[in-house]
A and B are shown apart, each in its own frame.
Chain A
Amino acid sequence: MELIKKNPKLFQWLFLLIVFFFLCFAIEVPETYKFIRGQAEFIKDPNQSTYTLFGAEVRYYAFDVFWRLPPLLGWLPIWINDSLFFLMNEWMPMEFWNESTQSYKTRPLILQLTRNMTAFMTFLIELIREIMLGGVQTVVAFTSWDWIDANPWAKLPGLPWTIVAAGAVILGYNLSGKGLALFAGIVMIYISIFGQWKPSMQTLSFILVAAPLSFIFGLGLGIAAFKSKRVEKFLSPILLVMQTMPQYAVLVPAIVLFGVGDHAAVIITMVVAVPPMILLTLLGLRGIPPEIAEAGRMSGCNNWQLMFKVLIPTARRDILIGVNQVIMVCFSMAVISAFIGAKGLGFNLLLALNQLNIGLALEAGLCISLIAILLDKMSLAWANKQIDYFGNLTFFEQHKNGLFFAGAVLIGIILAYAGSFYFKEGFNYFFEVPHNKGISTADFWNRGVDWIWDTFFHTLKIFNTWLIVDVLQPMRAAYLRMPIVATFVLVMGAGYIIGGIRSAFVVGALTLFIALSPWWDRALVTTYMATFGVIISCTIGFTVGTLCFQNKYTTNFMLGVCDIFQTFPSFVYLIPVMMLFGVTDTSVLIAVVVYATIPATRYTIEGLRSVPAALHDAASMSGVTKIQRLMKIEFPLAFPHMMLGLNQTIVFALFMVIIGAFIGTEDLGQYILKALSDKKGAGIGLTLGLCVAFIGLVFDHLIRTWVGQRKKHLGID
């Protein structure tokens, strides 16, 4: 009794769990219920019930409402599809001037707008791509195909790889010195001699369009939200959903709006990359002490100068994290958007994975990761670059970068020209190493995989079987065994205990959306996989983080490792696990664990770091041991921050689970993947995406509310 009086919350939790389990055991599984695999749901079955709403017919297996709710939102995907179709094909037809036919043509407004956007994006991508690789598209954009046919000389020649590599080295040197120059050189040479030049440049051209555009839009909208409350209010719910929306899900409606190809990929990438940029811009600008802004004003800044010379540079730290995020998302999307026809390394990676050619996949993945790290480091160095006012420089010193580059261009061209005589087989290695003529280590890796399979097959199989049979299957069965009423009691009860009646309704409403969609069972599978991943990730992350924190060097080392791992596109994580475990659920879950451990570790370290030094001293003077200090001082104070890490871990885990659909899972992700190849998939994809986003938001809401209260309680902010 004493215990309950001391911890009223403990009692509430206990009561909640008792009710939950009671409901679970009290409600029987209906006899007709079974987890339906594949597309069976869409086959007509006389046992199914139907209803029609907004002209859409929805079929489903009816159960007791205590067990499963009927899919009352089943019409939503169909309705979204029809609306999109109407918007694209019928809404607001207008007269538009058509350049090629020299006449007015009637076209729906949205269609015209999206076509214009795609044309613009295509132009940008092709421009960069052709500077790197050569081609005629850019010239065509200014003239016409007929003109090109008449003037076969008119095309961009493309740069020999030696010049691009030299340019990267000079840029690296200029930005931060020898280290970065060396790294840039190694990356470029690696790409070239391994025959990945063309896809790499294709990917790079995609990134060089998507990343700056995302940065500009994110920064602009962030500033707008900072300046106007109304803009912020409008943006905040969108930002919240976008944060937990899986990237896959955005692909599907984008196909409808923008078609397939690189341009669509750029637009989707922006949709995904802009929200974190907005959030971080806003966070940075909000964090500026008011006196800095006043100092700027008193120095005589106008609004423009104040924003771009004072506020944004002062908020640089957060904005740079935003840039880092943008780059990360861009590379991640560079792979994912291969699903909708983007060219480049991502396409090769997917192809290789599909053929189970782990070696090739590994090479492509390594290329993407290296370019990602290089761009990340360069953007960071660029932001930190200082101007030297005192150098009394000679003409040569002032223009040495330009001169070196001019020299590199000259030498590159001469080499390429000489190469065209030297290499007789039709490949000019000084111009571009063709895809199949580079050095390839694929065989080596593939043999390595084979060796691992031959040698460890037994061990791996035992582990795999044990995990699936003894852990995953029962866990999945337990999740699916939850009657819907019990789920609601658990979720809303947790909401009520943590944040009161309002929180209970928020999480209840989010859950209701999923429950009324036709994919509740799939959502349970997604949740089970994510939960499993999160539990393992957190255990590893918190342990590793805590251990590393005991020493300054290991702390910095670990943060560096997290930085690098974070830059890897999410898809890359699938490669090594497929090497080891093949195409199984285990592979997905291990990728989830690896990917989600990054934020768990990082936030643990940062949380522990945020404990004020004075408290360490105070604790030491009270004579605590190391363990006591950790348990009594550091953990309680770092806990709110660590919980934010948990939040991130959940989001990362959900993303990875969805991406894991590529390997073949049975959850929401699989349906998103299917929607991609479905003509009428847009509505389904979007609704599924919302379902995943809402799963994330339920946890997000609970954790944030709890952290907020805890912080208030501890008096830290």
Chain B
Amino acid sequence: MTNAVIKCDSVYKIFGVNAKKMLQDANGNVDAKKFQDNGCIVGVNNASFEVLKGEMLVVMGLSGSGKSTLLRCISRLTDATSGKIFIEGQDLLLLNNKELIDLRRNKMGMVFQSFALLPHKTVLENIAFPLQIKGIEDQESINKAMDMVKLVGLDGRENYFPRELSGGQQQRVGIARSLAVEPDIWFLDEPFSALDPLIRKEMQDEFLRLQEKLQKTIMFITHDFDEALKLADRIAIMKDGIIEQLDTPANIVLNPATEYVRKFTQEVPREKVLKIEDIMEKPHNENLSDLKVLKNETIENVAEKILTQEKSVGVIDENNQIVGTVHPSKIINTVFGGKKNSD
């Protein structure tokens, strides 16, 4: 609670003329179908969660699941129909227009799926735009923007126009623009969805590198489950406006809460997602093999070594303390046994 940067408390977003009244009548029990018959569309249905400082929450869902709507509620690009949203303890919905603009100018940055660059401005001007809007002097904002250009590796192209850049480069500009004001909170709305698979992977790696350096509080929207697994500290899976499950990638793969989530997890290569600590057993006095593995290694990296052993392998933490054990059969079960393990 103390270091929750974003906190949502039963947030609803319902589109339609009588949305507010219908929501009151429904008394918290929103049935999407009933609403639809009355001409309302449920965007977000009772979302409650927190995002901690420096954490990356990935919201995953297929198109129409309400994930972008949720993000727009939190950035207040649309007003939530009901519920409370707190940004660093401040009630977002109580802010007046001026305070909201202040918040956006100093605390928030956002990256868009279609890049949303201003076509009449060069790369540099696009990146300097939020600074100039804030009223920072031209020369200073340009210098700052130039740093950002370097950060995302576009030096030499700062005087290009967006239309002269490839998709990946355009999104780098979008990222640089969102970071120009040094926001604490970073919203990314399907930033890599419009890119080619190869570029997408490259951008994901780049993004992880940036986040390692910057340690922002992030809400990341995607429809790609693999992307979510790769990037997330925690994942929220949405369907029809409802958050089906919100947990760490490992827990989602190991313990899918609903049938819907399970469908996503089925095809996931577990050895790539799970770490040794996710499947280890409590340390016991059974004699262990000589091999020791670090608890935060992914299974993929150490499976081969463990499978050469016959006895259980000791799991150690950074301080070389044994914190658990893994039997080679557990590895086989996890990787190939799929369903049996997940209930």
Chain A residues close to B by CB (< 8 Å) = 289, 291-292, 294-295, 297-302, 305, 309-310, 313-314, 316, 386-387, 389-390
Contacts and interface: CB of A to CB of B under 8 A. Distances in A.
By Cβ-Cβ distance, the 9 closest A-B pairs, closest first, are A300-B105, A295-B116, A299-B130, A291-B116, A298-B110, A300-B104, A313-B120, A291-B112, A389-B142
A145 to B, nearest CB: 49
Interface residues of B, number: 38
Nearest to A297: B77
Contacts of B116: 289, 291-292, 294-295
Contacts of A295: 110, 112, 116-118, 174, 177
Interface in B99-127: 101-102, 104-106, 108-110, 112-122, 124-125
B35 interface: no
Interface of B: 72, 75, 77, 97, 101-102, 104-106, 108-110, 112-122, 124-125, 129-130, 133-134, 138-139, 142, 159, 174, 177-178, 181, 187
A313 B177 CA distance: 18
29 contacts: A289-B114, A291-B113, A291-B115, A291-B116, A292-B118, A294-B110, A294-B112, A295-B110, A298-B75, A298-B104, A298-B110, A299-B105, A299-B177, A300-B101, A300-B104, A300-B130, A300-B133, A300-B181, A305-B133, A309-B129, A309-B133, A313-B120, A313-B121, A314-B119, A316-B119, A389-B124, A389-B125, A389-B139, A390-B159
Given A300-B181, A309-B129, 12 more contacts: A291-B114, A295-B118, A295-B177, A300-B104, A300-B130, A300-B134, A310-B118, A313-B118, A316-B120, A387-B125, A389-B138, A389-B142
A295 B139 CA distance: 23
Contacts of A300: 101-102, 104-106, 130, 133-134, 181
Contacts of B102: 300
A292 B97 CA distance: 19
B102, B108, B120, B125 — most chain A CB neighbours (10 Å) = B120
B77 A294 contact: yes
A291 B112 CA distance: 7
B14 to A, nearest CB: 19
Contact of A298 (B77, B113, B124, B125): B77
B5 to A, nearest CB: 17
A68 B122 CA distance: 65
B114 A302 contact: no
B120 A314 contact: yes
Contact of A297 (B104, B115, B159, B178): B104
A389 B138 CA distance: 8
Nearest to A313: B120
Contacts of B106: 300
A297 B105 CA distance: 9
Contact of A301 (B114, B119, B122, B133): B133
Contacts of B124: 389
B118 A314 contact: yes
Contacts of A294: 72, 77, 110, 112, 116
Contacts of B122: 386
B294 to A, nearest CB: 40
A301 B117 CA distance: 15
Given A294-B77, A294-B110, A302 B97 contact: yes
Contacts of B178: 298
A291, A292, A302, A305 — most chain B CB neighbours (10 Å) = A291
Contacts of B138: 389
Contacts of B72: 294
B184 to A, nearest CB: 14
A297 B189 CA distance: 15
Contacts of A305: 133
A387 B122 CA distance: 10
A291, A295, A310 — most chain B CB neighbours (10 Å) = A295
B119 A299 contact: no
Contacts of A314: 118-120
A409 to B, nearest CB: 30
Nearest to B109: A298
B335 to A, nearest CB: 41
Contacts of B97: 302
B77, B109, B116 — most chain A CB neighbours (10 Å) = B116
A386 B124 CA distance: 12
B108 A298 contact: yes
Contacts of B104: 297-300
B67 to A, nearest CB: 15
Contacts of B112: 291, 294-295
B132 to A, nearest CB: 8
A273 B105 CA distance: 39
A314 B105 CA distance: 21
A316 B178 CA distance: 24
A571 to B, nearest CB: 36
Contacts of A291: 112-116
Contacts of A292: 116, 118
A144 to B, nearest CB: 46
B162 to A, nearest CB: 11
B192 to A, nearest CB: 15
Contacts of A387: 125
Contacts of A386: 122
